[in-house]
Chains A and B, each alone.
Chain A
Amino acid sequence: MHPSRPSDERGIALVLALFVLVVIAALIGAVFFIAQLEVRTGANTVSSLQAAQAADAGLEYASANWSRAWAQQGVGNTTGIDWVQLGGTSGYFSDSITELNDQLLMVRSFGDARDGSGGVLASRAGGMLFKVAPPDFGLSAAVTVQGNASIGGKDTVSGYDVVPSGGAWSANCASLTRSDQPGIRASSNFSASASGSPKYFVTPSSSASDTSVTTSVAKVNGVFSTLEGMADLSLTTSTLPSTVAPVLSGHTCATGSSNPDNWGDPTYAASGVDGTSHPCASYFPIIYVDGGGGTVMPPSGTGQGILLVNGNLKFNSGFKFYGVVLVTGKVSASGGGSTGNVYGALLSQGDATLNGNERFDYSSCAMTLAAQAALIGRPLTVRPYIRF
């Protein structure tokens, strides 16, 4: 007896079923492939844009972190900035800075978009031409105030464009054009105390509700962080010396961060060889002082250059400074002791209450010489961008 056996039966159901399955799988696979292609194409576009953004960030980074050394590396030489990740993003950039000549530098920035393992998904590059030039502070008053300004006591604010006495000021200022300005420019109100004998000069002696202050503040803010990064001396209220004076090392000026009490020699206080040369007379340091949320009290003594104060500044010690003083907070002067003096220009980004025994003399010469010693890279005014 041979009962019927399923294995002996003939049919195409299985074959058909398998074939259909293969076709359906191929269909699904094709759809997935095309979809994947679509996603990848879109991802490539996103990566390209990320890389372009990273390259742009590299140009901004070079501008904001300008180094004096870049303009002193020698014509034709190049300095590199290693890869920098943009926060926690997939964007990276690196820069190369080439000195084209004594005035011009070319910054090339290379941007990458990378995956989680560091693989490069897309790359882009851009370039910018920079010219080393003095910072433009846009200050045209002895004291420029973003806020209210008041003057009292024995304080004097003069807009007469003076040449400081002593040192080499007369010789260095001879070729510069001078122009008298208001003593005080305030974006809000100006008031003078009836008591005491405050003085403020030049017509208009003061300018309240002055719209030019906004422009000045914008210009200063445009260079403040760059100058901070270039500072010869970076100090805090605890490291701020109590007295400043020129310091010589043999016959040369002892500069830099190891000499925080040397703020230059505007009045020929220190002599070099045979008592005739004055090595620190040409030293115009950039001095950054972080007030740490408090008030900075300037040292006694004499200095020159650019003084950057992050916080409030209070004069009361007979401090004499030749150049530019930029204060992010309020400025005040009190006490009737030693007479302090600022030759150049001062900007207060808060109210200014001058009620002491200080003089503030506008000097375009002092401001110009201080600025010329702090050359920074600025994009060319016209056609700075290059696509690389």
Chain B
Amino acid sequence: MRDVMRPGRRGGFTLVEVMVALVLLGMVSVVLYQTLISTQRITDALHQRGKMQSGLRAGGLTVPGELQQLTIGSSSTLDSVTDVSAVTDTSITYRAMRGFYTLCQATADATTLTAVRVLPSPFTSEYRTPVATDSALIFWEGDTLSTYDDAWIPVGISGVATTTCSYPSSPAATMAAYTIGLSGSGIPSSYALGKLTPGAPIRTFETDQLLLYASGGSEWLGLSVNGGAAEPVLGPLAPTSGTVYGFQLTYYDSSGTALTATSANIPKIRTIGVMLRGVTSARVAAAGRTRALIYDSLMAVVTLRNAPRN
């Protein structure tokens, strides 16, 4: 009964109890802080790694897609035009297809074509209207019963204007078209204009270079269009170490033998190996309490689908 009458003793703590509670609270706080920091570090590391790997995967799809329809000119006269003009271990300069058209009308003029654009799919957003700096290849029909004497005629483009033309379809249709002016003397006289039949395919190109370049203290995969400044496509890439590069190309002949990246070997190229080595853009948590850059790599092999079959 006396205890009941003394409420002051019911809600109090002894000093020891308070001290123990504070120590425990401190310990829990430290553990909690470390957990939060570690969570942040792990999340950051995973994010950085995911971002880097995602970039590598995207590069592993887009670079082969860009290179796969390149042609290495054959020794025959059918298509002596080689799309690849220069190669190194870290760059390739090539004619990149940027449009596909068909000849709308037979032409009697060697310096002008009327072409209808073939609509690309949503996956070829880089296809566009031709411009004066582009070049083109026009399909030239040889013997209609043979596939061995056809040719693609290389020409330069001097100007482009919109027009309409009556496409010789069945039934005939008036279609939006382009008048493409050809530079120089246009179609060489060795190719009879009568063999340029309506419906003949026309491919337009720009000159691109994929290259490894440095900017802002990092190395990147860049794209240079018509000799312009390189724009970043992918990166940052692992810094160069000796002869190991963040963007590295290996060229193979038809037997799978690796070729030295020289101009003399360009006619032999049938397959290109694309190595991308990525690095995180910041140091992230690594083993122990250290922070470090994380590296990863991706290899893709591109068979040049329009290269001669030998």
Instruction: Report A's interface with B, CB cutoff 8 A.
Output: 1-2, 4, 8, 10, 12, 16, 19-20, 23-24, 26-27, 30-31, 34-35, 37-38, 41-42, 44-45, 48-49, 74-77, 99-104, 106, 108, 110, 123-125, 129, 131, 133-134, 372, 378, 380-388
Residue of B nearest to A45 (CB): B57
Contacting pair A74 B57 (CB below 8 A): no
Contacting pair A382 B78 (CB below 8 A): yes
Chain A residues, CB < 8 A from B65: 387
Contacting pair A387 B47 (CB below 8 A): no
Contacting pair B43 A76 (CB below 8 A): no
Contacting pair A75 B145 (CB below 8 A): no
9 closest A-B pairs by beta carbon, nearest first, are A76-B169, A101-B199, A74-B170, A34-B46, A100-B199, A382-B79, A125-B121, A385-B305, A27-B39
Chain A residues, CB < 8 A from B121: 108, 110, 125, 388
Q: For residues 31 through 45 of chain B, which have their beta carbon under 8 Å from a beta carbon of chain A?
A: 32, 35-36, 38-39, 42-43
User: Would you give the 0/1 interface string for B168-182, flagging 1 where the beta carbon is closer than 8 Å to chain A?
Assistant: 111001000000000
Contacting pair B42 A383 (CB below 8 A): no
Contacting pair A372 B145 (CB below 8 A): yes
* Chain B interface size, under 10 / 10 to 19 / 20 to 34 / 35 or more: 35 or more
Question: In the complex, which of the residues A35, A44, A382, A387 contacts B124, with contact meaning CB atoms closer than 8 Å?
Answer: A387
- A103 with B144, Cβ < 8 A, contacts A124-B123, A384-B306 known: yes
**B69 CB-CB contact with A under 8 Å:** yes
Q: Given the complex of chains A and B, what is the CA–CA distance between A220 and B189 in angstroms?
A: 38
Chain A residues, CB < 8 A from B201: 100, 104, 106, 129
Question: In the complex, which of the residues A4, A24, A35, A48 contacts B10, with contact meaning CB atoms closer than 8 Å?
Answer: A4
Contacting pair A383 B203 (CB below 8 A): yes
What are 13 A-B pairs with beta-carbon distances under 8 A?
Answer: A8-B10, A27-B39, A31-B43, A38-B53, A41-B53, A45-B61, A49-B61, A100-B199, A133-B144, A133-B146, A384-B306, A386-B69, A388-B123
Contacting pair B173 A76 (CB below 8 A): yes
Q: Given the complex of chains A and B, what is the CA–CA distance between A378 and B60 in angstroms?
A: 31
Closest CB in chain A relative to B98 CB, distance in Å: 11
Contacting pair B200 A382 (CB below 8 A): no
User: Would you give the 0/1 interface string for B107-120, flagging 1 where the beta carbon is closer than 8 Å to chain A?
Assistant: 00000000000101
Contacting pair B71 A383 (CB below 8 A): yes
Contacting pair A106 B118 (CB below 8 A): yes
Contacting pair B147 A378 (CB below 8 A): yes
Residue of B nearest to A104 (CB): B199
Chain A interface helix/strand/loop/mixed: mixed
Contacting pair A383 B43 (CB below 8 A): no
Question: In the complex, which of the residues A2, A30, A131 contacts B39, with contact meaning CB atoms closer than 8 Å?
Answer: A30
Residue of B nearest to A38 (CB): B50
Chain B residues, CB < 8 A from A381: 78, 147-148, 150
Chain A residues, CB < 8 A from B123: 123-125, 388
Q: For residues 60 through 89 of chain B, which have their beta carbon under 8 Å from a beta carbon of chain A?
A: 60-61, 65, 68-69, 71, 74, 78-79
Closest CB in chain A relative to B79 CB, distance in Å: 4
Instruction: Report B's interface with A, CB cutoff 8 A.
Output: 1, 4, 10-11, 25, 28, 32, 35-36, 38-39, 42-43, 46-47, 50, 53-54, 57, 60-61, 65, 68-69, 71, 74, 78-79, 97, 100, 102, 118, 120-121, 123-124, 137, 139, 141, 144-148, 150-152, 167-170, 173, 197-201, 203, 305-306, 308
Q: Given the complex of chains A and B, what is the CA–CA distance between A45 and B120 in angstroms?
A: 22
Chain B residues, CB < 8 A from A382: 71, 74, 78-79, 150-152, 306, 308
Q: Which residue, B4, B28, B139, has most C-beta atoms of chain A within 10 A?
A: B139
Contacting pair B32 A23 (CB below 8 A): yes
Residue of B nearest to A2 (CB): B4
Contacting pair A100 B102 (CB below 8 A): yes
Q: Given the complex of chains A and B, what is the CA–CA distance between A98 and B203 in angstroms?
A: 17
Chain A residues, CB < 8 A from B170: 74-77
Chain B residues, CB < 8 A from A49: 61
Contacting pair A100 B46 (CB below 8 A): no
Closest CB in chain B relative to A80 CB, distance in Å: 15
Chain B residues, CB < 8 A from A44: 57
Closest CB in chain A relative to B115 CB, distance in Å: 12
Chain B residues, CB < 8 A from A103: 141, 144, 197
Contacting pair B28 A16 (CB below 8 A): yes
Chain A residues, CB < 8 A from B118: 106
Q: Given the complex of chains A and B, what is the CA–CA distance between A336 and B1 in angstroms?
A: 137
Chain A residues, CB < 8 A from B203: 383, 386
- A19 with B32, Cβ < 8 A, contacts A75-B168, A100-B102, A101-B197 known: yes
Residue of A nearest to B126 (CB): A387
Q: Given the complex of chains A and B, what is the CA–CA distance between A123 and B11 in angstroms?
A: 71
Chain A residues, CB < 8 A from B306: 382-385
Q: Given the complex of chains A and B, what is the CA–CA distance between A103 and B65 in angstroms?
A: 28
Q: Which residue, A37, A110, A124, A380, has most C-beta atoms of chain B within 10 A?
A: A380
Given contacts A20-B28, A106-B118, A134-B145, 16 further A-B contacts (CB under 8 A): A20-B35, A31-B42, A35-B46, A41-B54, A45-B57, A45-B60, A49-B61, A75-B170, A76-B199, A99-B199, A101-B198, A104-B199, A125-B123, A125-B124, A129-B201, A383-B71
- A386 with B61, Cβ < 8 A, contacts A24-B35, A124-B123 known: no
Closest CB in chain A relative to B141 CB, distance in Å: 6
Q: Given the complex of chains A and B, what is the CA–CA distance between A99 and B197 in angstroms?
A: 13
Contacting pair A27 B198 (CB below 8 A): no
Q: Given the complex of chains A and B, what is the CA–CA distance between A380 and B266 in angstroms?
A: 22
Chain B residues, CB < 8 A from A110: 121
